[in-house]
Amino acid sequence: MHKRKRKIFTTDFILYIAKCLLGVMVTCTLYVLIPRHQLSWSVISVVLAFSPFEKDSRKVAYDRMKANVIGSGIGLLVFILHFPGIYLPMILGAFFTILVTAALNILSTIRSALAAVIIVLFYEEHNATFQFALERAICVCIGCLVALLLTLLFDVLFYRYKRRGYIRKAKVMRKHYLHHRNAEG
């Protein structure tokens, strides 16, 4: 029995690579242009928001954006409650993030939400202020926004290409259906 070879470089995968590269370029450019802020966290957020599967990329981008906002919000809340040390806040942040994403039925995006919690709660001693935690939360959301805009842009740019493929498939299926129907009748 022959094993079917999986195509690696499909159109969806090439578009995924292009979105990731563009997302990294945009967020790195923001980081260089605005060096006073922690926009390096946006780079992580942007690549976590993309999906390599084009058919659900818009839904995944929306869901991961929601997850990042939830994770950032929970991270800020845990930061405000000011638990001692670094381990307890991260454990509590992860726990509450898992509970909220489960309650909202978006467990498929839990990794993005957990990454956002860790980004917001992660700090060096000289950056252990609410201002820095808020800034990291905003940077996570900026990365998600860049990912969402790129996803929508790619949808618009490649919609015509996809539509042509769908029309071609529909014509082949119709021809096949008509052939079988004529053969039967």
Q: Is residue 119 part of a domain?
A: yes
| AA identity, residue 130 | F
- Nearest partner of 67 among 29, 27, 119, 24, judged by Cα: 119
Which residue is listed with tokens 């029995």?
Answer: 1
- Domain span including residue 54: 11-163
| pLDDT tens-place values along the chain, 185 residues long | 556 666 777 777 888 899 999 999 999 999 889 878 778 888 888 888 887 776 666 777 788 888 888 999 999 999 889 888 888 999 999 999 999 999 998 888 888 899 999 988 887 555 678 888 888 888 888 998 998 899 888 888 876 666 666 667 777 777 777 777 777 76
Q: Is residue 111 part of a domain?
A: yes
Residues 6+ apart with CB under 8 A from 77: 96
- Whole-number Å distance between alpha carbons of 183 and 177: 10
Q: Is residue 159 part of a domain?
A: yes
Q: Is residue 125 part of a domain?
A: yes
Cβ-contact 27, 142 below 8 angstroms: yes
Name the token pair of 63. Answer: 């869901």
Q: Is residue 3 part of a domain?
A: no
Length reported for the chain: 185
Q: Rg (Cα) of the chain, in Å, rounded?
A: 22
Is 0.75 surpassed by the pTM of this model? no
The number of distinct structural domains making up the chain is 1
Q: Is residue 78 part of a domain?
A: yes
- Whole-number Å distance between alpha carbons of 49 and 22: 13
The pLDDT value recorded for residue 4 is 60
The pLDDT value recorded for residue 3 is 60
Q: Is residue 172 part of a domain?
A: no
Residues 6+ apart with CB under 8 A from 124: none
The pLDDT value recorded for residue 164 is 64
The pLDDT value recorded for residue 60 is 76
Q: Is residue 41 part of a domain?
A: yes
